[in-house]
Chain A
Amino acid sequence: MNEVITEKAQKEDWEPKIIAFLCNWCSYAGADLAGVSRIQYPSNIRIVRVPCSGRLNPFFIIRSLVDGWDGVLVSGCHPGDCHYISGNLVARRRFAILNDLLEFFGIEPGRVNFMWASAAEGERFAVLVRKTTEIVKKLGPNEKFKKQW
């Protein structure tokens, strides 16, 4: 009986958990700015700071899904603004291929999201995090790819 109730309760106010990989130089500072400027954004994201979006091995993203995160958000500097000049450009190619491949394997589009946000774009950061949260919420919990045992 108890279980049924909790399950139902869980469904109704289920909140997705989203892991966000943010580049140290832009997006992380952008998130900071959003915070300092008191711009509200959903608390569903858990931030992992990475030195550059080029640091992201696509493995991190796939592994996050296997580990049971409901969504993944990746954010780096705008093309041309990368602190290491081309990290995000190299990463963009990887992301493009990863994105297509995930879809090919039947992972719902929108589970993994990519964006650019600079250190000055606190507002944009908040808007896109809101958007991501909405998308993932609509998709529901990540049951497909999550490791079952």
Chain B
Amino acid sequence: MVDIKNENQKIEEKMRNVARDLLKEKKVDLIIGYSEGTLPLASAPVFIRDEQEVDKLVWNNSCYVNLAKYLIPNIRENINGELVDLKVGIISKGCVARSIIHLLVEHQINKENIIIIGINCNGILNRRRIEKEIGAHEITETELSGDHLIVKGNKFEKKFKFNDYMNELCKHCEIRAPPISDSLKDNIVGECQEVDSLEDPFEDIVDFEKKSADEKWAFMNEVLKDCTRCYACREACPLCYCNLCFVDQNLPTWFGKTSEISDILIFHMVRGLHLAGRCVECGACSSVCPMGIDLSLINRKINKVVKDRFDFVSGLSLEKLSPMMTYKMNDKQEFMLEEN
């Protein structure tokens, strides 16, 4: 039996030490990390400049935010009237580091200014699922014991098995610490891991693909019909960094703003398309959805298509171009109409 609480403490300790050293040696101006949240099952991002404050950093299984989001636009400070880029140390579980690598591939951030503080993530809890199962009660306290999470509230107490209540994405995740990329070696401190390629059988997606068109349609409708299009999923995604997102444009208005199902589906389809070859499966989008919609099915499908067609996994290497940035003369085109 794994003791997750113990594991977390170890991770936390290591992470604080590394962060403290970085600040002490003035290698970074700022540390971005997680701190205790104000609500149960949540954590809050924190920006630390002073080594005395390093103890504010925490690691627990509710650190669902993808901190890479805060790297764009570049973090700057006004020094004597001049904008200077700050050097940032960023606490990175595997998926955060992957988004950083992908942002580097897309030339959105500057490698010189970033130090990745690697930690070996042990899985993020699916808070929306837990909240749904608790129902209308208020959660006042959560506690880890052994491999279970105990959720307490007024006159109730419930036990959840950690491995079952992890994010769907975390269940499939093989890259728990920052992947080493040769040209990024100098930027990583703390833990990291060697991954050249990824074997993901995408069993869940393959199962879903077997359904008939009508079944798929019905399922998608059922899952997405509650979406209020608050766009929190877009806000949380480190790769949704466009200054003007298509959903906010009104000349042209790309799609209606009603709660009619095609208006909802069109958003999710295009969101998916825009993340093709880019999504790093961090699960931040699903964790922040106020309606508890799990977007991992769509994200994973897109990743599967990209893997099958273009043999690409996002956020592993600085050298490989993302598939939508390039093309090959002999790309498969079996879906095109032919005369016979």
Q: Which residues of A contact B (CB under 8 A)?
A: 58-59, 62-63, 66, 79-80, 86, 89-90, 92-109, 113-116, 124, 127-128, 131-132, 144-149
Contact = CB atoms under 8 A, between A and B. Distances in A.
A106 B254 contact: no
Nearest to A102: B269
B269 A62 contact: yes
B270 interface: yes
Contact of A59 (B220, B254, B276): B254
B269 A101 contact: yes
B204 to A, nearest CB: 12
B270 A62 contact: yes
B156 interface: no
A106 B215 contact: yes
Contact of A97 (B216, B298, B306): B306
B255 A63 contact: yes
A97 B246 contact: no
Contacts of B261: 148
Interface of A is mostly: helix
A96 B337 contact: no
Contacts of B302: 97, 101
Contacts of B216: 103-106
Interface in B299-340: 301-302, 305-306, 309-310, 323-324, 327-329, 331-333, 335-339
Nearest to B220: A105
B265 A145 contact: yes
A146 B329 contact: no
Contact of B331 (A92, A107, A108): A92
Given A94-B324, A101-B301, A79 B329 contact: yes
Contacts of B256: 147
Interface of B is mostly: helix
Given A97-B306, A104-B216, A108-B213, A59 B246 contact: yes
A93 B262 contact: no
Given A63-B254, A97-B305, A97-B306, A105 B329 contact: no
B258 to A, nearest CB: 7
B293 to A, nearest CB: 15
A131 B260 CA distance: 32
A58 B274 CA distance: 10
Contact of B327 (A90, A144, A146): A90
Contacts of A58: 270, 273
Tell which of A59, A80, A86, A107 has the most Cβ of chain B within 10 Å.
Answer: A59
B78 to A, nearest CB: 39
B337 A113 contact: yes
B266 A97 contact: no
Contacts of A95: 335
A145 B264 CA distance: 11
Contact of A93 (B217, B272, B331): B331
B260 A147 contact: yes
Contacts of A149: 258, 260
Interface string B261-285: 1110110011011001000000000
A106 B217 contact: yes
A107 to B, nearest CB: 7
